[in-house]
């Protein structure tokens, strides 16, 4: 696993410390262990998790601006936990409405000694953003329209951003953005050995 992670990181041009690599591998180990009972992800093979969960999450790191983020509909902590590991100076609120997922996140927080994450059980539209966040992140969470509708109160005025991790470029959704929302950019992401496209859509409120 260590060797495969090193190879993937090299192909993606990502440099991490040994501690960060061990934390990422530790997270995959916990995800694999808990998945058997909690059904946290449809990906069963830990080696596949390295590509589809770890690399797929951390390739967005260069595009994030700020240091306070909320990962809405985080599920088992994706992309929030891998990003928190590679961005130790940033803070991530991990929001999910399902208790078993939040229990898993707290176990990860405890075992990996992650001081920069805060697992929270709540529906996103009921969660108060005090203070507002630099970035609102979602991965396979909802359409762009739903994300904006449910999360409009979460980012900082003017400087806050929405970051939506998508597969193929969602041109249909981009054509139907609500008024008051501006497209900042669509970034094509490179995830080594992953089949299919990956894009990051960055939006802001006018």
Whose CA is closest to 77, among 24, 143, 128?
A: 24
81 is written with which tokens? 């936990």
Query: What's the pLDDT score for residue 140?
Result: 78
Q: What is the CATH number of the domain that holds 18?
A: 3.40.50.150
Q: Which residues are annotated as a binding site?
A: 73, 78, 124-125, 139
Q: Which residues are annotated as a binding site for S-adenosyl-L-methionine?
A: 73, 78, 124-125, 139
Per-residue pLDDT of 167-194, as tens digits, reads 999 999 999 999 999 999 999 999 999 9
Count structural domains, the chain: 1
DSSP character for 75? T
d(CA 95, CA 121): 6
What is the percent of the chain where pLDDT is above 90? 98
pLDDT over threshold 90, residue 64 = yes
d(CA 92, CA 84): 6
* Domain of 199, in residue numbers: 1-205
Q: Residues 4-15: what's their mean pLDDT?
A: 98
What residues pair up with 170 in beta bridges, in sequence order? none
The answer to whether the peptide bond before residue 79 is cis (omega within 30 degrees of 0) is yes
Query: What's the pLDDT score for residue 162?
Result: 98
Per-residue pLDDT of 117-170, as tens digits, reads 999 999 999 999 999 999 999 997 789 999 999 999 999 999 999 999 999 999
pTM, entire model: 0.97
d(CA 85, CA 105): 13
- Tally of CB atoms within 10 A around 174: 14
Helix axes 99-112, 18-38, angle to 10 degrees: 150
Whose CA is closest to 16, among 52, 45, 57, 44?
A: 57
Q: Residues 46-63: what's their mean pLDDT?
A: 98
Q: Are 94 and 119 in contact (CB under 8 A)?
A: yes
């Amino acid at each position: 696993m260590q060797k495969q992670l090193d190879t993937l990181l090299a192909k993606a041009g990502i440099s991490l410390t040994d501690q960060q690599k061990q934390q990422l591998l530790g997270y995959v180990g916990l995800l694999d262990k808990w998945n058997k009972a909690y059904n946290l992800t449809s990906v069963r093979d830990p080696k596949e998790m390295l590509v589809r969960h770890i690399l797929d999450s951390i390739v967005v790191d260069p595009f994030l601006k700020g240091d306070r983020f909320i990962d809405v509909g985080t599920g088992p902590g994706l992309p929030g936990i891998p990003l928190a590991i590679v961005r130790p100076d940033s803070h991530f609120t991990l929001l999910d409405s399902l208790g078993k997922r939040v229990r898993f996140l707290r176990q990860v927080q405890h075992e990996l000694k992650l001081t920069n994450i805060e697992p929270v059980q709540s529906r996103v539209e009921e969660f108060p953003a005090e203070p507002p966040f630099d970035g609102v992140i979602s991965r396979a969470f909802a359409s762009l329209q739903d994300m904006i509708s449910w999360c409009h109160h979460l980012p900082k005025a003017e400087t806050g951003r929405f970051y939506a991790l998508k597969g193929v470029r969602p041109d249909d959704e981009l054509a139907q953005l609500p008024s008051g929302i501006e497209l900042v950019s669509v970034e094509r992401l490179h995830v080594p050995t992953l089949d299919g496209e990956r894009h990051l859509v960055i939006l802001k409120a006018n």
